[in-house]
């Protein structure tokens, strides 16, 4: 097998208008710590070891994400209410199945909350 110079997945990244604000919102949802770099971009380091980068871009989000986060829950209804209380909105135009709820963060990025299997 050939070796690859790629060492693995380092982070997931969201383009956004206000990186510190959006990182703060995700921190309230997931926990963890935030680093803000000299460019004003932010990184959230979650308690489970995931890094989510938030990068400033001038463009508004206009279409559904091609990639989204699936977040595990112990209770789908409770997790949905928690996210909504923090400022998430329901993505009623996107299909939600019997085991998941589709929501949007304050900048419109879709994510799913998944019921335990």
Whole-model pTM: value is 0.91
What single DSSP character describes residue 23? H
- What domain count does the chain have? 2
**Do residues 71 and 50 make contact, with C-beta atoms less than 8 angstroms apart?**
no
Does one domain contain both 2 and 53? Answer: yes
Q: How many Cα atoms are found within 13 Å in the side-chain-facing hemisphere of 18?
A: 9
Q: pLDDT of 60-101, one tens digit each?
A: 888 888 889 999 999 999 999 999 999 999 998 887 788 999
Tell me: do 2 and 48 sit in the same domain. yes
| pLDDT tens readout for residues 7-31 | 899 999 999 999 999 999 999 999 9
Shared domain for 72 and 40, answered yes or no, is no
The whole domain housing 14 covers: 1-57
Closest to 26 (Cα-Cα) out of 8, 11, 38: 11
Task: State whether 14 and 32 are in the same domain.
Answer: yes
């Amino acid at each position: 097998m050939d070796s690859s110079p790629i060492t693995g997945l380092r982070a997931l990244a969201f383009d956004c208008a206000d990186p510190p604000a959006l990182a703060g919102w995700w921190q309230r949802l997931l926990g963890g710590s935030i680093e803000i770099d000299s460019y004003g971009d932010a990184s959230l380091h979650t308690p489970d070891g995931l890094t989510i980068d938030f990068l400033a871009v001038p463009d508004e989000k206009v279409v559904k994400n091609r990639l989204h986060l699936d977040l595990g829950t112990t209770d789908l209804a409770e997790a949905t209410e928690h996210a909504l209380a923090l400022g998430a909105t329901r993505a009623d135009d996107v299909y939600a199945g019997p085991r998941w709820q589709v929501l949007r963060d304050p900048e419109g990025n879709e994510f799913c909350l998944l019921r335990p299997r």
